[in-house]
């Protein structure tokens, strides 16, 4: 029973980008500068890529990556904005469970990166971010530019939502810091780490070579396990439960772990709830799954199952106190919580959510707890829940909605294995059954709009060559904020299908304005002002084409959807990035609309 710091599924593939952006041979094969040592340490982390936007503060490191490492292991992924560089690393980790690297320019580059780092932090996704400052030695600074781009305690900008940061003062300390950053980022609960490299240290010539070290010994496997007593207590509660319920929360992309969750649910005959804030964790069309997965609020069927439960097993559910509140407050059930997340909680952001009541805590990852519980429970009765056939999903009405978009998209992909790398806020969990851990990768996690495109490019990179078709469904607001991530996908030939659920609005906030208007007895008709993205309508397909992707649409009629989406799927299968602008009617699912417009909240 161990938690592995190398957790998560293996990368679906090592995408071959090797032919892109090849440097001339430099003939350099020994570390000569501080930044060469940092580059060596990065290679020791075994990160395949480093997503970056360049800057003079790390021109030393940049040179080392190109002319010392030969732009391989890690290979540079040039990004047009730091926010997409970090989002790409988040998407990559969502698939692989592992950190890749990111490099951002001194203070201003890091400032651009902050929202995406927050998303990755809330998502518990590992990445090693390299930044730069200085020269810290003021005597070595160029006038003006080096001064404005030097900041004291730059890590303070992101310390509230990173696991660890450092500003090493020598090449030996930089090597140590980078190894530690990789080790901490990849150790569960995972998250971003930041190493800030002094420009002076990077550019200084080594006075003597650094003594070699066995880098693997500095990143030991981290194992933690729940106590046998706690496992026995949890199993005893679950064994005598009449109406057990499993909250299928954060987990790895491993198929073995997925199968074990299904086995446990069937052994217990437990109802299961999943949620679109988190990646696929349980087959959503399994007869034990209660209702469709929601986003802002669980669907009524899920809440009924929770209210009826006498024992709840939370498999690292990200807001256990929150779902109990959704169910009306105190619930009668005993609660078993499986999570390591409390080890990560800090004081700056409240992303740790409410403090839930817990009767037994299994202080480990669900991947460790589930097999332990299956073993402790021993063989049981066959499931008693009838395997009733569910009604196939049918979009309602004759106006083009996101439900029509989803139905046509499923039609267009047919039996191909797909990964939803991102879905819009308007997405209906009922429209797309999730049957494999890679079927859906979860949300941006920090609620930072604009993350969808970059996350999807990173996920598509990790999936390249795996046989899975990556599909991003983005809101128009999300697309417009993160749109330049597309260029990186086009340049590095990363196939990706992106469909825009284009309601020509920051619609989420129309609902908020409606609620305020209702509460204040003011005209709800005005909810669109300061929200609607029209007059002029933006040509989203042209924005895609401008960056080397194929652009389709706008599609405004249901009858056109099948043909256009079919062509877009064919383009992605031919290796392209395809973006489809679908003009949908504004609207969210009933459960979400009700939760958002409820009085008094």
Interface contacts to Mg ion, rule CB under 5 A: 475-477, 503, 505, 507
Place of tokens 């995406």: 116
Name which of 290 and 561 has its Cβ closer to ligand TPP: 561
Does residue 477 interact with ligand TPP by CB under 6 A?
yes
Would you say the C-alpha torsion 36, 37, 42, 46 has a positive or negative sign?
Answer: positive
Name which of 509 and 562 has its Cβ closer to ligand TPP: 509
Place of tokens 């005597």: 139
Q: Which residue in 198, 586, 561 sits closest to 409, CA to CA?
A: 561
Among 337, 424, 431, 550, binds ligand TPP (CB under 6 A): 424
Candidates 224-232, 291-299, 473-481, 482-490 — which segment interacts with ligand TPP by CB under 6 A? 473-481
| Residue 285 interacts with, from ligand TPP, Mg ion, none (CB under 5-8 Å by kind) | none
Cα 453 to the chain's mean position, in Å? 11
Name which of 145 and 594 has its Cβ closer to ligand TPP: 594
Name which of 451 and 551 has its Cβ closer to ligand TPP: 451
Name which of 507 and 552 has its Cβ closer to Mg ion: 507
Tokens of 462: 């990790």
In 67-226, the DSSP E strands lie at: 75-78, 101-103, 127-133, 164-166, 192-198
Q: How many residues bind ligand TPP (CB under 6 A)?
A: 18
Q: How many CB atoms lie within 10 A of CB 380?
A: 12
Does residue 476 interact with ligand TPP by CB under 6 A?
yes
Name which of 372 and 592 has its Cβ closer to ligand TPP: 592
Among 196, 252, 426, 443, binds ligand TPP (CB under 6 A): 426
Among 54, 417, 447, 566, binds ligand TPP (CB under 6 A): 447
Question: Starting from the edge strand earliest in sequence, which strands make up the sheet with 334-338, in order?
Answer: 271-273, 244-248, 311-315, 334-338, 360-362
Name which of 319 and 476 has its Cβ closer to Mg ion: 476
Among 109, 168, 450, 458, binds ligand TPP (CB under 6 A): 450
CB of 584 to Mg ion, least distance (A): 9
| Interhelix angle 255-268/366-377, nearest 10 degrees | 40
Per-residue mark of binding to ligand TPP, 504-543 (x: CB under 6 A): -xxxxx----------------------------------
Q: Which residue in 182, 206, 148 sits closest to 74, CA to CA?
A: 182
Does residue 427 interact with ligand TPP by CB under 6 A?
no
Among 74, 433, 454, 475, binds ligand TPP (CB under 6 A): 475
Q: How many CB atoms lie within 10 A of CB 260?
A: 19
Residues 6+ apart with CB under 8 A from 466: 12, 13
CB of 506 to ligand TPP, least distance (A): 4
Tokens of 509: 């906030």
Among 191, 251, 448, 470, binds ligand TPP (CB under 6 A): 448
In 95-254, the DSSP E strands lie at: 101-103, 127-133, 164-166, 192-198, 244-248
CB 505, CB 531: distance < 8 Å:
yes
Does residue 431 interact with ligand TPP by CB under 6 A?
no
If residue 55 lies in a helix (H) or strand (E), which one and from where to where?
none
Per-residue mark of binding to ligand TPP, 80-109 (x: CB under 6 A): ------------------------------
Which residues contribute to the site for ligand TPP (CB under 6 A)?
115, 424-426, 447-450, 475-478, 503, 505-509
């Amino acid at each position: 029973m161990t938690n592995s710091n190398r957790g998560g599924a293996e990368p679906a593939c090592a995408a071959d980008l090797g032919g892109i952006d090849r440097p001339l041979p430099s003939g350099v094969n020994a570390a000569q500068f501080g930044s060469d040592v940092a580059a060596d340490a990065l290679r020791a982390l075994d990160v395949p890529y480093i997503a970056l936007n360049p800057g003079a503060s790390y021109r030393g490191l940049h040179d080392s990556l190109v002319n010392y490492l030969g732009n391989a292991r890690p290979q540079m992924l040039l990004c047009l904005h730091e926010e997409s560089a970090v989002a790409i690393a988040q998407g990559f980790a969502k698939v692989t469970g592992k950190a890749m690297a990111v490099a951002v320019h001194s203070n201003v580059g890091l400032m651009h990166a902050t929202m995406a780092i927050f998303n990755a932090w809330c998502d518990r996704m590992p990445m090693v971010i390299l930044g730069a400052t200085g020269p810290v030695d003021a005597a070595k600074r160029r006038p003006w530019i080096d001064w404005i781009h030097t900041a004291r305690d730059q890590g303070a900008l992101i310390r509230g939502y990173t696991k660890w940061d450092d500003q090493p003062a020598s090449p030996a300390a930089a090597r140590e810091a980078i190894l530690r950053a990789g080790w901490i980022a990849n150790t569960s609960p995972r998250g971003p780490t930041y190493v800030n490299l002094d420009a002076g240290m990077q550019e200084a010539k080594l006075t003597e070579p650094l003594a070699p070290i066995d880098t693997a010994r500095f990143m030991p496997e981290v194992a933690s396990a729940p106590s046998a007593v706690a496992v026995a207590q949890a199993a005893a509660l679950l064994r005598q439960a009449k109406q057990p319920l499993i909250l299928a929360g954060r987990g790895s992309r491993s198929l073995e772990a997925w199968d074990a969750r299904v086995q446990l649910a069937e052994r217990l005959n437990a109802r299961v709830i999943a949620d679109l804030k988190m990646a696929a964790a349980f087959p959503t069309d399994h007869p034990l799954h209660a209702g469709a997965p929601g986003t802002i609020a669980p669907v009524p069927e899920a809440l009924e199952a929770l209210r009826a439960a006498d024992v709840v097993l939370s498999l690292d559910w990200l807001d256990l106190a929150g779902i109990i509140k959704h169910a009306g407050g105190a619930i009668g059930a005993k609660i078993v919580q499986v999570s390591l997340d409390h080890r990560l909680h800090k004081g700056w952001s409240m992303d740790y959510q409410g403090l839930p009541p817990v009767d037994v805590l299994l202080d480990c990852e669900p991947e460790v707890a589930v097999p332990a519980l299956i073993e402790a429970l021993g063989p049981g009765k066959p499931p008693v829940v009838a395997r009733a056939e569910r009604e196939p999903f049918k979009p309602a009405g004759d106006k083009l909605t996101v439900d029509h978009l989803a139905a046509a998209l499923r039609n267009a992909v047919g039996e191909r294995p797909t990964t939803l790398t991102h879905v819009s806020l308007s997405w209906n969990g009922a429209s797309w059954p999730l049957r494999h851990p890679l079927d859906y990768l979860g949300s941006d996690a920090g609620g930072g709009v604009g993350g969808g495109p970059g996350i999807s490019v990173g996920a598509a990179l990790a999936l390249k060559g795996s046989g899975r078709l990556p599909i991003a469904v983005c809101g128009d607001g999300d697309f417009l904020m993160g749109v330049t991530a597309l260029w990186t996908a086009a340049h590095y030939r990363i196939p990706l299908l992106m469909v825009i659920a284009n309601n020509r609005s920051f619609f989420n906030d129309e609902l908020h304005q409606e609620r305020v208007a209702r509460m204040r007895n003011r005209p709800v008709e005005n909810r669109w002002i300061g929200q609607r993205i029209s007059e002029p309508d933006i040509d989203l397909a042209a924005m895609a084409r401008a960056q080397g992707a194929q652009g389709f649409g706008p599609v405004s009629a249901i009858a056109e959807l099948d043909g256009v989406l079919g062509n877009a799927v064919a383009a992605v299968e031919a290796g392209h990035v395809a973006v489809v602008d679908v003009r949908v009617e504004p609207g969210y699912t009933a459960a979400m609309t009700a939760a958002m417009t409820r009085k008094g909240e």
